[in-house]
Amino acid sequence: MKVREIMTTNVECVAPDSGIMEIAHQMKLLDVGFLAICENDRLAGTITDRDIVIRGIAGGRDLNSCTARDIMTPDVHWCYEEDDVKDVAEQMSEKEVRRMLILSQDKRLVGVVSLGDISKVEEKESGKVLKDITEAA
């Protein structure tokens, strides 16, 4: 099974200079805890609600002047939409991540796949990924 068959396609992207308060508001509106950061139509990083709390609030940042660039995770983990779900699950396990951004062949953001998405179709693989992620924590 290809990852494009199970990915979420309505993934949102925000600019690195977007304010943290704006991002938090967007997360609330979309009911998500994860957004991609894109600059000049290319992936630059990711930001999660946890990043806002740990790196922003607990890090003592002024949330009115803090931007995504200040607290985002610049290491972007991605795969292609044509990749096999099992291969993506293995990559997630190796990289110890719960979400993977999905790109088209021309490297445009087209979706995101989560551990939950994989668990719906690959019970054995998702259990291995979750085990690897939790052991790393």
Half-sphere exposure of 120 (CA within 13 A, CB side): 10
CA distance 94 to 32: 24
Query: What is the tally of structural domains in the chain?
Result: 1
Residue 3: which residues within 8 A CB-CB, separation 6 or more?
A: 79, 80, 81, 82, 83, 84, 85, 88, 100, 102, 113
CA distance 88 to 113: 9
71: containing domain: 3-136
The one-letter code for the residue type at 53 is: V
Bridge partners (DSSP) of residue 78 are 101
- CATH label of the domain that carries residue 21: 3.10.580.10
Are 38 and 60 spatial neighbours (Cβ–Cβ below 8 Å)?
no
> Which pLDDT value is given to residue 35?
94
Place of tokens 């099992």: 86
The token pair at 11 is 């993934």
Eight-state DSSP code of residue 37: E
CA distance 127 to 42: 32
In tens, the pLDDT along 22-70 reads 999 999 999 999 999 999 878 999 999 999 999 999 999 999 999 999 9
Average pLDDT, the chain: 89
In tens, the pLDDT along 64-102 reads 999 999 999 999 999 999 999 999 999 998 998 889 999
Are 68 and 15 spatial neighbours (Cβ–Cβ below 8 Å)?
yes
pTM above threshold 0.85: no
Are 76 and 101 spatial neighbours (Cβ–Cβ below 8 Å)?
yes
